[in-house]
Amino acid sequence: MQTDNIYFVNEFLIKKPVERLLCYTIECSLPDEYKSRKIGYKIASILSRELSRKLKKPVASLGEKLITSPEVKLPSEEKILVKIKGIPIEVEVKEIREWKLIEKEDENFSEAVKRYLNRVIDLIMENEGYRQDGRRFYEKRRQSVRRRIYISRGVFITSKVNKEKQTIIVDPVTEVRSKLNLLEALKLVLKEKNIKNWREAKNSQRK
């Protein structure tokens, strides 16, 4: 059943949709061997998240660029820690500069708005004390359900954007995890089967 603000069961219409976003270009100093589009995307992603936390305002990445509300003013430079080829490197972003407004007529408008709205959600859920895993947000308090199992209750939240409408999709999720790591679990199995070493386990499997 569809109402004015609900689509299906878990899709909610945004009554005040995003109409424009301000796009920023970034420039940073990197050795030539580290310069690539993939690393540029990674730098923009990490920088957007750091600026969001620092400014308490949503800042998202769009390729190698940043996007935010036109009302938000970004700093002109910033330092971030980026792991490149397995090595943590301090990257100095020397220039964060306003580039252009992204509006409905732009080809990448829907993607930009989706990324921006998801960052809005990230900030809200972080402020509410949730732990984030992709688009899933879990309560930090874990509930023990068995001797070796605990669960975390949470919610999957993402935005959905096209030229006609902007919506938020919400679904409940549950994370189930073992209290033991793999080695601890294997040792426990051996103990329960009264096996003292791995060779005995291999021999007993053949029987």
pLDDT band with cut points at 50, 70 and 90 for residue 86: confident
Q: Please state the pTM of the whole predicted model.
A: 0.80
Phi-psi region of 86 (alpha: psi -120 to 50; beta: other; left: phi over 0): left
Highest mean pLDDT pick, 89-98, 110-119, 185-194: 110-119
Per-residue pLDDT reduced to its tens digit, 142-159:
887 666 777 889 999 999
Instruction: Dump pLDDT digits (tens) for 13-46.
Output: 999 999 999 999 999 988 788 888 999 999 999 9
- What are the angstrom distances between the C-alpha of 34 and each of 37, 46, 77? 10, 16, 20
Q: Which residue has the higher pLDDT, 116 or 94?
A: 116
Q: Does residue 191 surpass a pLDDT of 90? A: no
Tell me the pLDDT of the chain averaged across its residues. 86
132 neighbors 126 (Cβ within 8 angstroms):
yes
